């Protein structure tokens, strides 16, 4: 087959074979257009000449100087995530956890206080009580359903408030309108962990356009590991904002931390984004179906899912996110079943993997002991409910998942 090389250089070289591979004269012609975004890999970015090397760096916007701040591939993903999040700016990080750390470090100084919901993602609690305490940053955990108690905690030292909707594991939907209104009134910066909603369930920057126009968080972070990837195969995070000054602070901290992302992983997220709406809807529908079915099981004391009327924060969910329910629910087993029996139930499942994370193709189940990870207690007493299992619903056929749960209940009883 004839290879139609353009006449852009002499392909027969007198240089050695190594030099020729590194300084090869062939340049693919311009004019390439495809649906997929090309993967642009670099640590070294080449300058045309020393004049370009010495040129002062642009303060805002994109300039290519080194692989770490960004490549055409990462800037493309950042722009698409900003759009998904209804934001203007986006910083990518190597994990969702790194996005949380970046946010807290960018906006907190020694002597400041951060308020964190008691049902916050476990690793955010860990950073707050561990790393931030070491840096002289104090914290308080608040009940995301109790706005008066939250307001009483706000002080001149409060410099950042974390929000999460729905909360981790117990999935209480916070009183976002009440909490954000209280923060706005005092000029306190707010950061929402928006992993559950993914930018699809509601707009983090305007959470209730009809009820409270313009009310929203200042920053929205999400684990791209979850819905945007959808593959259970990579880790990545993002922090979005509409405020250019806040974005500059994030970029400055991003440079301190050296938070690079792998280009193949960026490409994988770019492949996941076109199907995110379809996946979110399908997983949401299957999750609600199975959550309702579980709630009717005699072995289960209660099911936690914001769309269920007796789930904590249901009224707040209806105001902010009435069309979206995520892919998670938790089932609290009756206290007659001890933790060992509930473990046996989980071990008996065949369609559900046992493992962390969610929003991938495979459904997952994890039993949790929350007794040591909550400061303000749980929404049920030990007489009302025992061990909790969190279910993340994937993309399997829902009848297979239902049949699997049913056979595991037989194991539990037998
Ligand atoms: C998974 C998750 C994170 C962290 O994301 P990683 O990419 O796993 O570090 C943060 N917040 C929430 C709510 C999550 O579910």
In whole angstroms, what is the distance from residue 353 CA to residue 365 CA? 6
Taking a C-beta distance cutoff of 8 angstroms, is the pair 298, 409 a contact? Answer: no
Which atom of ligand 1 has the smallest separation from the CA of 195? 13
Hey, what domains does the chain have and what are their CATH numbers? 50-274 (3.40.640.10), 276-413 (3.90.1150.10)
CA of 96 to the centre of ligand 1 (A): 5
Region of 332 on the Ramachandran plot (φ > 0 left; ψ -120 to 50 alpha; else beta) = beta
Q: Whose CA is nearest to atom 8 of ligand 1?
A: 96
pLDDT tens, position by position, 161-190: 999 999 999 999 999 999 999 999 999 999
Quick one: three-class SS letters along 201-234?
Answer: CCCCCCCCCCCCCCCCCCEEEEECCCCCCCCCCC
CA of 32 to the centre of ligand 1 (A): 36
Taking a C-beta distance cutoff of 8 angstroms, is the pair 236, 261 a contact? Answer: yes
Q: For residue 58, what pLDDT is reported?
A: 74
Closest CA to 114 of 146, 153, 144: 153
CA of 322 to the centre of ligand 1 (A): 23
Which atom of ligand 1 has the smallest separation from the CA of 223? 5
Entry pTM: 0.95
In whole angstroms, what is the distance from residue 361 CA to residue 394 CA? 5
In whole angstroms, what is the distance from residue 49 CA to residue 51 CA? 5
Which atom of ligand 1 has the smallest separation from the CA of 100? 10
Distances (CA, A) of 303 to 107, 169, 330: 37, 11, 6
CA of 252 to the centre of ligand 1 (A): 23
In whole angstroms, what is the distance from residue 369 CA to residue 328 CA? 17
Q: For residue 4, what pLDDT is reported?
A: 58
For 240, residues 6+ apart whose C-beta sits below 8 A from its C-beta are 81, 82, 85, 87, 89, 90, 91, 204, 219, 220, 221
pLDDT tens, position by position, 97-111: 999 999 999 999 999
CA of 95 to the centre of ligand 1 (A): 8
Q: For residue 238, what pLDDT is reported?
A: 98
The C-alpha angle with vertex 195 and arms to 189 and 201, in degrees rounded to 5, equals 95
The percentage of residues in the chain with a pLDDT greater than 90, rounded to a whole number, is: 86
Which residues does a 6 A CB cutoff place in the pocket of ligand 1?
95-97, 121, 168, 193, 195, 223, 225-226, 235, 237, 357
CA of 327 to the centre of ligand 1 (A): 14
pLDDT tens, position by position, 223-254: 999 999 999 999 999 999 999 999 999 999 99
Alpha helices of 6-121 — where are they, by DSSP H?
17-22, 50-54, 72-84, 96-107
CA of 355 to the centre of ligand 1 (A): 13
Which atom of ligand 1 has the smallest separation from the CA of 226? 1
In whole angstroms, what is the distance from residue 93 CA to residue 260 CA? 7
CA of 194 to the centre of ligand 1 (A): 10
Q: Whose CA is nearest to atom 4 of ligand 1?
A: 96
DSSP per residue, 277-290: HHHHHHHHHHHHHH
Q: Which of 7-21, 56-70, 112-126, 371-385 has the highest mean pLDDT?
A: 112-126
Closest CA to 121 of 222, 268, 216, 207: 222
Tell me if the bond preceding 166 is cis, omega within 30° of 0: yes
- Residue among 225, 266, 328, 391 to mutate when testing ligand 1 (max atoms within 8 A of CB): 225
- Residue among 94, 126, 195 to mutate when testing ligand 1 (max atoms within 8 A of CB): 195
Tell me the mean pLDDT in the region 245-264: 96
Q: Using CB atoms within 10 Å of the CB of residue 194, give its burial: 0 to 12 exposed, 13 to 18 middle, 19+ buried.
A: buried
CA of 231 to the centre of ligand 1 (A): 14
Q: Whose CA is nearest to atom 3 of ligand 1?
A: 96
In whole angstroms, what is the distance from residue 234 CA to residue 265 CA? 6
């Amino acid at each position: 087959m004839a290879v139609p090389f353009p006449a852009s250089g002499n392909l027969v070289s007198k240089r050695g074979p190594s030099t020729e591979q590194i300084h090869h004269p062939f340049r693919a012609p311009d004019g390439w257009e495809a649906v997929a975004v090309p993967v642009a890999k670099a640590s070294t970015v080449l300058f045309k000449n020393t004049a370009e090397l010495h040129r002062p760096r642009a303060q805002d916007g994109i300039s290519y100087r080194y692989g770490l701040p960004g490549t055409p591939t990462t800037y493309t993903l950042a722009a698409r995530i900003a759009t998904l999040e209804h934001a203007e700016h986006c910083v990518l990080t190597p994990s969702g956890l790194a996005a949380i750390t970046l946010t807290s470090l960018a906006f907190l100084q020694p002597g400041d206080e951060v308020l964190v919901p008691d049902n916050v993602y476990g690793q955010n609690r860990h950073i707050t009580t561990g790393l931030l305490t070491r840096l002289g940053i104090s914290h308080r955990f608040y009940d995301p359903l109790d706005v008066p108690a939250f307001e009483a905690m706000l002080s001149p030292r409060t410099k950042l408030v974390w929000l999460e909707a729905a909360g981790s594991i117990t999935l209480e939907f916070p009183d976002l309108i009440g909490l954000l209104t209280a923060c706005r009134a005092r000029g306190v910066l707010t950061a929402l962990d928006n992993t559950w909603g993914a930018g699809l369930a509601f707009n983090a920057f305007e959470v209730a356009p009809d009820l409270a126009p313009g009310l929203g968080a200042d920053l929205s972070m999400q684990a791209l590991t979850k819905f945007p990837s959808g593959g259970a195969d990579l880790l990545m995070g993002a922090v979005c904002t509409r405020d250019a000054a806040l974005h500059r602070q994030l970029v400055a901290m991003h440079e301190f931390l050296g938070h690079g992302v792998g280009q193949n992983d960026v490409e994988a997220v770019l492949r996941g984004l076109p199907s995110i709406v379809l996946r979110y809807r399908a997983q949401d529908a299957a999750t609600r179906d199975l959550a309702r079915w579980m709630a009717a099981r005699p072995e289960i004391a209660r099911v936690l899912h914001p769309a269920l009327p007796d789930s904590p924060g249901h009224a707040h969910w209806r105001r902010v996110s009435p069309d979206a329910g995520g892919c998670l629910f938790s089932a609290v087993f009756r206290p007659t079943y001890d933790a060992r029996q509930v473990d046996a139930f989980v071990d008996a499942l065949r369609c559900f993997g046992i493992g962390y994370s969610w929003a991938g193709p495979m459904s997952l189940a994890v039993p949790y002991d929350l007794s040591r990870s909550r400061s303000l207690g749980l929404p049920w007493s030990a007489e009302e409910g025992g061990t909790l299992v969190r279910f993340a619903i994937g993309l399997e056929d829902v009848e297979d998942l239902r049949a699997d749960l049913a056979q595991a209940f037989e194991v539990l009883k037998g």
